[in-house]
Amino acid sequence: MEIQSVHLPDQPDLAARVRDLASEAARVDGIYPFSEQFLLGLVDARVAHRHLILTDGDQLRGVAACDDSSCELVVAPDARRQGVGRALLEAVGDADVWAHGDLPAARALAEASGRRPTRRLLVMSVADQALTEAAVFEPRPGFEALSLRESAARWGRDTVEQAWLDANNEAFSWHPEQGGWDLDRLRRAQEAAWFDEDDVLFHWDTSTDGKPALAGFHWTKWHTEDTPAFGEVYVVGLATAYRGQGLGDPLLRLGLEHLAGKGARRVILYVEADNGPAVRVYEDLGFVVDEEHVVYSQP
| CB atoms closer than 10 angstroms to residue 120 | 14
Note whether 266 and 131 are within 8 A (CB).
Answer: yes
Residue 52 annotated in ligand binding = no
Spatial separation of the C-alpha atoms in residues 62 and 48, rounded to whole Å: 20
Residue 85 annotated in ligand binding = no
Note whether 14 and 8 are within 8 A (CB).
Answer: yes
Residue 215 annotated in ligand binding = no
Residue 236 annotated in ligand binding = yes
Cα three-residue angle 219-158-183, rounded to 5 degrees:
65
Residue 276 annotated in ligand binding = yes
Residue 262 annotated in ligand binding = no
252: Cβ contacts below 8 Å, ≥ 6 apart = 218, 233, 236, 281, 285
| CB atoms closer than 10 angstroms to residue 11 | 16
Residue 97 annotated in ligand binding = no
Residue 295 annotated in ligand binding = no
Residue 286 annotated in ligand binding = no
Q: Pairing relation of β-strands 70-75 and 96-99?
A: parallel
Residue 177 annotated in ligand binding = yes
Residue 243 annotated in ligand binding = yes
Residue 75 annotated in ligand binding = yes
Residue 213 annotated in ligand binding = no
Residue 133 annotated in ligand binding = no
Spatial separation of the C-alpha atoms in residues 170 and 215, rounded to whole Å: 11
Residue 279 annotated in ligand binding = yes
Residue 245 annotated in ligand binding = yes
Binding residues for acetyl-CoA: 73-75, 236-238, 243-249, 275-280
Residue ranges at the known binding site: 36, 73-75, 177, 221, 232, 236-238, 243-249, 270, 275-280
